[in-house]
């Protein structure tokens, strides 16, 4: 018979604190996209309140992504160096202040500065979140965990158009807000208290994050040894939680697979940014959708992205386990780009807002189908510099998002008939994604940096 000491030495069941840490990262992503998308929903009221032209509005919509792109690499490096707990909390507070202060802005210049600030501080969210996944999840579950974090962003993005518009209508109509007609119009200044509300909510989430989160399993008092062993797997534990070395510029600059991954993200964000910046304008100008209808319709492609992310995370994990890292990541990226191209081409043949939204639902779903593979690639090859590598890829990806509203707005404006201009914009989005599908074949996650 086994002795009492034998039973005492039996391995205990692994705790599940890791899921809570991923849940916190997901909550941050929800806030990230609420603050990012709310301005695009309120564009009409902001323009009317401050007298902003369509050309200057396109600049504001793109400004966020320029700052967001340029902030990716340094933000990721700071997360690697100082840890997610304090750096991500600081980023949340700063971008929430930038969003909240828009509520008292009195000019186009002030909005521009605050949108740039919001983009700069939001840049730290996903690179730091990638480090959270790499430290808190076993390698065979990183694809799905990455998709769960990104789902938070899509949930926030899907909620932002509806929530922002309904809050503006509530501010305008008061007790008559509930059950108001779809043709109800928000007051010119109704966007201001909404921005302040989002800012205060962000500060509350920052406090929650710093209270519960820890940078590694070894630092969390509720993680037992079985969970630490499960997370570590066959990978040696790092000697230090934080990385004190410089950004690995030469390794990134000389990695062809990394450059191909960067282009995949560039094309992905170029097309996806349409959903968050120009889709409300397209529905109004071409299909005459009301303000309230715009909020609901714009949310659908972003909501479809939730399912794309979850399926994409499972797909790349299953493919990686069966075919290896090389094709487990590349096939997921390639297939998703082809589906995006078909979705945009379909928009060229629609005749009403419902048909257009269905095509853009395909775009939202397919775009996010490949996100987990792109993120997991950075975790596969980044080693101790996951934040820096993901930040580098996201930087190039968000250059695409920054260029999108300006280029697409220019294409639309260059045609005398609005519908033809929008069709040309959709064809451009489709073609760049076809090129990205070809580039994805060359992404090789087996070549560690």
Name the residue range of residue 317's domain.
Answer: 17-232+245-440
pLDDT at 180: 56
Whether pLDDT at 276 is above 70: yes
Q: What confidence score (pLDDT) does residue 177 get?
A: 56
CA distances from 355 to 249, 351, 406 (A): 46, 7, 25
Is residue 2 one of the residues assigned to a domain?
A: no
Residue closest to 314 by CA, chosen among 381, 233, 372, 377: 372
Asked whether the predicted pLDDT for residue 179 surpasses 80, the reply is no
pLDDT digits (tens, 9 = 90+) for 79-105: 888 888 999 999 999 999 999 999 999
DSSP 218: G
State yes or no: pLDDT of 185 exceeds 90: no
DSSP state letter for 241:
S
For residue 5, is it within any domain?
no
pLDDT digits (tens, 9 = 90+) for 8-67: 444 578 898 999 999 999 999 999 989 988 888 887 888 888 888 877 887 887 788 888
- Determine contact, residues 332/393, Cβ cutoff 8 Å: no
- Would you say 319 and 327 are in contact if contact means Cβ atoms under 8 Å apart? yes
Q: Is the pLDDT of residue 6 over 60?
A: no
Check residue 322 and give its pLDDT: 83
Supply the CATH number for residue 205's domain. 1.20.1250.20
Does 448 reside within a domain?
no
Mean pLDDT of 171-195: 71
Residue 10 domain flag: no
pLDDT at 176: 58
Mean pLDDT of 329-356: 92
The answer to whether position 117 is within a domain reads: yes
Residue-level pLDDT at 243:
54
d(CA 322, CA 48): 55
Number of separate domains in the chain: 1
What is the largest distance, in Å, between two alpha-carbon atoms of the chain? 89
Distance in angstroms (rounded) separating the CA atoms of residues 155 and 294: 17
pLDDT in tens, 189-220: 788 999 999 999 999 999 999 999 998 898 99
Residue 421 lies in a domain: yes
Number of Cβ atoms within 10 Å of the Cβ of 175: 6
Q: What is the pLDDT of residue 229?
A: 87
Query: Mean pLDDT in the chain?
Result: 85
Average pLDDT of span 406-419: 84
12 assigned to some structural domain? no
Fill in the DSSP letter of residue 214.
-
Query: What stretches of 9-141 show up as alpha helix (H) in DSSP?
Result: 17-41, 43-50, 54-82, 84-101, 108-122, 125-136
């Amino acid at each position: 018979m086994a002795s009492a000491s034998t039973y005492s030495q039996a391995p205990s069941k692994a705790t599940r604190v890791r899921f809570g840490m991923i849940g916190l990262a997901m909550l941050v992503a929800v806030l990230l996209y609420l603050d990012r998308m709310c301005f695009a929903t309120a564009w009409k009221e902001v323009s009317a309140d401050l007298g902003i032209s369509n050309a200057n509005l396109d600049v504001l919509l793109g400004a966020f992504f320029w700052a967001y792109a340029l902030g990716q690499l340094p933000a990721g490096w700071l997360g690697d160096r100082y840890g997610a707990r304090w750096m991500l909390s600081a980023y949340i507070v700063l971008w929430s202040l930038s969003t909240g202060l828009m509520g008292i802005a009195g000019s186009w210049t002030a909005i521009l500065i605050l949108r740039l600030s919001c983009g700069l501080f939001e840049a730290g969210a996903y690179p730091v979140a990638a480090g959270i996944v790499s430290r808190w999840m076993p390698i065979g579950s990183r694809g799905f965990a990455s998709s769960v974090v990104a789902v938070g962003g899509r949930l926030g993005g899907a909620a932002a158009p509806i929530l922002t518009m309904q809050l503006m209508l509530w501010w305008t109509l008061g007790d008559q807000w509930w059950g108001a007609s779809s043709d109800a119009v928000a007051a010119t200044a109704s966007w201001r208290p909404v921005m302040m509300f989002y800012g205060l909510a962000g500060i509350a989430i920052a406090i929650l994050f710093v209270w519960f989160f820890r940078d590694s399993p070894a630092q969390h008092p509720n993680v037992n040894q079985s969970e630490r062993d499960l997370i570590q797997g066959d990978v040696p534990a790092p000697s230090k939680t934080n990385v004190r070395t410089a950004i690995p510029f030469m390794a990134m600059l000389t990695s062809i697979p990394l450059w191909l991954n960067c282009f995949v993200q560039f094309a992905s964000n170029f097309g996806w940014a349409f959903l968050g910046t120009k889709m409300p304008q397209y529905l109004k100008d071409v299909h005459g959708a009301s303000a309230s209808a715009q909020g609901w319709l714009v949310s659908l492609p972003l909501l479809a992205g939730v399912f794309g992310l979850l399926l994409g995370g499972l797909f790349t994990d299953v493919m990686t386990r069966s075919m290896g890292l090389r094709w487990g990541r590349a096939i997921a990226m390639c297939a998703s780009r082809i589906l995006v191209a078909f979705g945009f081409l379909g928009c060229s043949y629609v005749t009403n807002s419902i048909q257009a939204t269905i095509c853009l639902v395909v775009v939202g779903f397919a775009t996010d189908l490949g996100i987990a593979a792109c993120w997991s690639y950075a975790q596969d090859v980044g080693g101790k510099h996951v934040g820096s590598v993901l930040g580098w890829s996201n930087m190039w990806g968000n250059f695409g998002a920054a260029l999108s509203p300006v280029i697409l707005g220019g294409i639309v404006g260059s045609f005398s008939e609005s519908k033809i201009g929008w069709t040309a914009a959709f064809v451009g989005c489709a073609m760049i994604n076809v090129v990205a599908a070809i580039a994805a074949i060359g992404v090789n996650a087996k070549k560690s940096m």
